[in-house]
Amino acid sequence: MTAPTHPRTSDELIRAEEPVLAHNYHPLPVVVARAEGAWVEDVEGRRYLDMLAGYSALNFGHRHPALVEAAHRQLDRLTLTSRAFHNDRLAGFAERLAGLTGQDMVLPMNTGAEAVESGIKLARKWAYDVKGVPADRATIVVAADNFHGRTTTIVSFSTDETARSGFGPFTPGFRIVPYNDLAALEAAVDETTAAVLIEPIQGEAGVNIPDDGYLAGVRELTRRAGCLFVADEIQSGLGRTGHTLAVQHEDVVPDVVLLGKALGGGIVPVSAVVGRREVLGVLHPGEHGSTFGGNPLAAAVGTAVVELLETGVFQRRAAELGEVLRDGLAALVGRGVVGFRSRGLWAGVDVDPALGTGRAVSERLMREGILAKDTHGSTIRLAPPLTITADELTSALASLEKVLAVDA
Ligand SMILES: Cc1ncc(COP(=O)(O)O)c(C=O)c1O
């Protein structure tokens, strides 16, 4: 089949995907062609305020000038070496990222799932080499309702049947406990435990925020039990919640932090495992790697991302505008919203199921020029770029109020 040469409409492009693209997503029916800052534009030139920001991959908005400039400069010089050779951008990236996160070492990868896989391998190797767990006996304790990605090992410890069903056999070695339950965690940890792996805030589960003291409790428990605390900050990290990392709300420093999404500045996939030397130091040549991990283009963009975060401006914006978001949502409780959870510029909004599914509400928002995405059932996730203005945020909340009005 040959592709038509005339410019295609949104409807034509959506229909054209059906026979040639795997159906592993169910996107909203909008075809984005251009974007800048917090705004995207579709093929027909309709503008939408992006209240999802690529699930936090666009924390700095679309095409942030400093990030685009860093990418352009690097494109003109050197893009890929593989790790067979050194490149002149990687050392600086690792130094800056370790400094930003208060850790010693960096393992650069590409996607979030790869960072999680890498964290799992590191924790197991550390358990055998440093902790002295007998070969092939290491366990990792995880939380119910987690979302850490889609690889075979990661879905092995998912509690979402859609993510798992049909993909077995699964990787053994994981124990699942309820989230936000320190007693259950304590009961699951034993001498075989390599690590506790959790999201400081569960994004996909609907921006599930644990009780105050939970993260500090996990830190204290893992220290006492002699196992690692691995925090998956792929969605919660890099400014989203009002701090560089969500664990900082409880002054917690994990042994290992997993980063992705915003680390690539919305331009290239960049992820990383950052952690203590005692943990990352267990890897030797040949034991782990990736052709693209740490490539010069990724390192240049990642360094520019770290530079933006070093200013503290984005964390402050997330904290300040987070109050606008929280107040706006609080005013909608009882008026179409039955509950919400928010931290910084990140919210899970439970809409009254009588007003429609989260999907239906997202489609109504789309028609109002607001892009957001449902998660489970009647929950809508809001995660605008941290560059959004107070006026834009207020107008998005007004649109939400409008679509939730009973006569919408
Ligand atoms: C907490 C968390 N971990 C891991 C991932 C997987 O990242 P990726 O889709 O880049 O593989 C995600 C993606 O949403 C996530 O939210």
- Asked if 182 and 217 touch (Cβ cutoff 8 Å), the reply is yes
Q: 249 in ligand 1 pocket by Cβ < 6 Å?
A: no
* Distance between CA atoms of residues 399 and 393, nearest Å: 10
Torsion of CA 351, 356, 358, 363, to 10 degrees: -120
* Distance between CA atoms of residues 139 and 147, nearest Å: 18
- Asked if 209 and 343 touch (Cβ cutoff 8 Å), the reply is yes
* Distance between CA atoms of residues 273 and 248, nearest Å: 17
Largest CA distance in the chain: 65
- Asked if 145 and 202 touch (Cβ cutoff 8 Å), the reply is yes
115's CB contacts (< 8 A; 6+ apart) are 109, 234, 258, 259, 260, 271, 272, 273
Q: Does 108 sit behind a cis peptide bond, omega within 30 degrees of 0 on the bond before it? A: no
Q: How far is the CA of 260 from the centre of ligand 1 (A)?
A: 7
232 catalytic, yes or no? Answer: yes
pTM for the whole structure: 0.98
Q: 149 in ligand 1 pocket by Cβ < 6 Å?
A: yes
* pLDDT confidence of residue 376: 83
Q: 111 in ligand 1 pocket by Cβ < 6 Å?
A: yes
What would you report as the CA-atom Rg of the chain, rounded to the nearest whole angstrom?
21
Residue whose Cα lies nearest atom 13 of ligand 1: it is: 149
Q: Where are the alpha helices (DSSP H) in 258-357?
A: 277-280, 296-310, 313-332
147 catalytic, yes or no? Answer: yes
Start-to-end CA span in the chain (Å): 42
Question: Cβ–Cβ contacts within 10 Å for residue 85, how many?
Answer: 6
* pLDDT confidence of residue 6: 83
* pLDDT confidence of residue 201: 98
The two structure tokens encoding residue 22: 């795997």
* pLDDT confidence of residue 377: 86
Our mutation pick for probing the ligand 1 site, out of 110, 197, 201, 261, counting the most ligand atoms within 8 A of Cβ, is 261
* pLDDT confidence of residue 273: 98
Q: 154 in ligand 1 pocket by Cβ < 6 Å?
A: no
Q: What angle do CA 263, 266, 267 make, to 5 degrees?
A: 100
Q: 205 in ligand 1 pocket by Cβ < 6 Å?
A: no
* Distance between CA atoms of residues 322 and 316, nearest Å: 9
pLDDT tens track of the chain, all 408 residues? Answer: 566 778 899 999 999 999 999 999 999 999 999 999 999 999 999 999 999 999 999 999 999 999 999 999 999 999 999 999 999 999 999 999 999 999 999 999 999 999 999 999 999 999 999 999 999 999 999 999 999 999 999 999 999 999 999 999 999 999 999 999 999 999 999 999 999 999 999 999 999 999 999 999 999 999 999 999 999 999 999 999 999 999 999 999 999 999 999 999 999 999 999 999 999 999 999 999 999 999 999 999 999 999 999 999 999 999 999 999 999 999 999 999 999 999 999 999 999 999 999 999 999 999 999 999 998 889 999 999 999 999 999 999 999 999 999 654
* pLDDT confidence of residue 408: 45
Q: What domains does the chain contain, in order, with CATH numbers?
A: 10-63+314-404 (3.90.1150.10), 65-310 (3.40.640.10)
